[in-house]
Structure 1
Amino acid sequence: MNSSSITLRPFRVTDTDDIMLSMADDRVTRNLRRKTITSKEEALTFIREVCIPHPWRRSICVDDRSIGSISISPGTGDERCRAEIGYAIAVDYWGQGITTMAVKMALSQVFKDFPDVVRLQAYVNAENKASQRVLEKAGFLKECLVRKYAYLKGKLQDLVIYSFLSTDTIPADP
């Protein structure tokens, strides 16, 4: 995949059909806290009520077509030093390095957009090896496994915590 065709941009209501490719697929949402979208109306509501007002949620695009999302959720108060990252893309785009590129693009911007944030962290289902590889390729450090940490789709899961500090270096593309 040509990295110049991959962009991050704010969501638009016109992304409704495209968001169905990712968020209406159980294979994509099985590792997300959010439930699978089941209709075009739910997709539109998701864009209007979740994506657009979010402090930093971007559409991952290939040739300006939305294929997924990436979000940075900054902490507040005494937790303003850290933020959480999350992402998902449509199954047809898995394994092509797109998510890794999107995470690197987000890293190059997040510490500018949120100057109080010095730590970006991700919680990943311990069974989700693909997401762990994305984070490692983007320069995140695997910190620990937390056992039976959170319910995901009704099942108590082990999670792996990853971090990237504002002083860390984003790896160059090979």
Structure 2
Amino acid sequence: MAEEVTLRRFELSDVDAMMAWASDPQAAAFCRWEPYASTEPLLAFLRDTELPQPWFRAICVSGAVVGAVSVSPTPERCRGELGYVLARAHWGKGVATAAVRRALRDVFAELEPEGLRRVEALVDVGNPASQRVAEKAGFRRDGELRRHYWHKGRARDMVMYSFLSSATRRTGGSEMEQDAAAQQGSVPAVTLRRFELADVDAMMEWASDPEVAAFMTWDAYTSREALLAFLSDTVLPHPWFRAVCLGAVGGDGPRRPVGAVSVTPTDDACRAELCVLLARAHWGKGVATAAVKRAVAASFGELPGVERVEALVDVDHAASQRVLEKAGFQREAVLRSYCVVKGRLRDMVVYSFISTDPLVE
């Protein structure tokens, strides 16, 4: 590639150059937005949405603006999401790869002191050109995420790529002592129901246990009042948060919860995220697996539009990984340096169950 590729901040006067790709249906095919028919709405989008972004840059070839590259913040400060678009006249010339490499160099230089450790790119499985750009720029393919992204009326499979601030991958760490497969025998009747405020004392039995909270984002509760506030303000209004109970179906009165399972909708209407936790006395008895199976079966019918339930599990949490695999979830990828838990940057395994997968009996 003979011409120099550089990055700079956008200006409002760049709007005419942007129309070269923003109005092109082929350039927009794998982007969330539809092609722009006029300059006015694009100018408003540039002014109101893109310029306020913390890291949005113009891709320039010999000084002319030919595309855009961004690294958007995520809820986890340790990671950002890469996006880019390029005018079709510059496809296949190495411009996108050069721009992504420069973006990685610059964004880590600017944001690593603030905690950035991972830049990830989600690429449609039907977009092999962008997959090649990511790979040539040094990204590692983490795995394929089924029905992960709602795009122009369809749930799409996506390839997850990652680039870390350091090539050194964290290793080691201890596995949970409890082995979900260690104990065999009959599984007690497991049922799910909505939580009630009266469940707070039963919840304290596991919410106050540091071993139960070890792989959670929250710390063990030391106060009944704080847990009651969480139950009232977060659990009860949640669209799908259920108590895991043991006992015969149809028994009198609300059964005492021994754990909780939730399925939380995400920004993409087609997918939701599973979380399950269980009092330590019931580990290794098949209770968690049974609860996950029931949660998946129920949530697909009760959460409109959800086609994928996913679960993110710490690489060192072997017991939870086995629970998901026994419940029929598919292991898709290891996401390196994906989130901070208890002050440590962690690798996470992503599992999925999609609406067409067979339910495990």
The TM-score, its normalising length taken from structure 1, stands at: 0.91
**Alignment check: 8 A CA contact 1:58 1:69 kept:** yes
Q: Which amino acid aligns with 1:56?
A: W
Within the alignment, does 1:73 sit opposite 2:72 as a pair?
Answer: yes
Deviation at 1:87, TM superposition (A): 0.2
**Separation of aligned partners in 1, 2:36 and 2:110:** 30
Does residue 122 in structure 1 map to residue 121 in structure 2?
A: yes
Q: Structure 1 vs Structure 2: percent identity of aligned residues?
A: 42
Corresponding residue pairs, total: 166
Cα distance in 1, alignment partners of residues 48 and 67 from structure 2: 17
Give unpaired runs (5+ residues) of structure 1: 170-174
Match of 1:52 in 2: 51
Query: Shift of the alpha carbon at 1:91?
Result: 0.6
- Which stretches in structure 2 are left out of the alignment for 5+ residues? 169-361
The secondary structure found in structure 1 opposite 2:53 is: coil
For residues 45 and 155 of structure 2, the distance between their equivalents in structure 1, rounded to whole angstroms, comes to: 26
* 1:98 pairs with 2:95: yes
Query: Structure 2: which amino acid aligns with 1:156?
Result: A
Q: Which runs of 4+ in 1 moved over 3 A?
A: none
1:151 CA displacement: 1.2
Query: What does residue 172 of structure 1 align with?
Result: none
User: C-alpha root-mean-square deviation of aligned residues, in Å?
Assistant: 1.3
The aligned counterpart of 1:168 is 167
In the aligned structure 2, how far is the partner of 1:66 from the partner of 1:11? 9
> Would the aligned equivalents of 1:151 and 1:157 in 2 still touch at CA under 8 Å?
yes
**Aligned counterparts of 2:44 and 2:34: Cα–Cα separation in 1:** 13
Alpha-carbon distance in 1 for matches of 2:124, 2:74: 21
1:84 and 2:81 equivalent? yes
**Equivalent-residue separation in structure 2 for 1:11 and 1:155 (angstroms):** 32
Q: If the length of structure 2 is used for normalisation, what is the TM-score?
A: 0.45
Match of 2:26 in 1: 27
Structure holding more helix per residue: 1
SS at match of 2:158: strand
Other-structure match for 1:18: 17
Does 1 or 2 have the higher relative contact order (CA < 8 Å, sep 6+)?
Answer: 1
Separation in 1, partners of 2:68, 2:153? 23
1:74/1:117 contact within 8 Å kept: no
- Cα distance in 1 for partners of 2:92, 2:126 equals 17
Match of 1:108 in 2: 105
Larger radius of gyration: 2
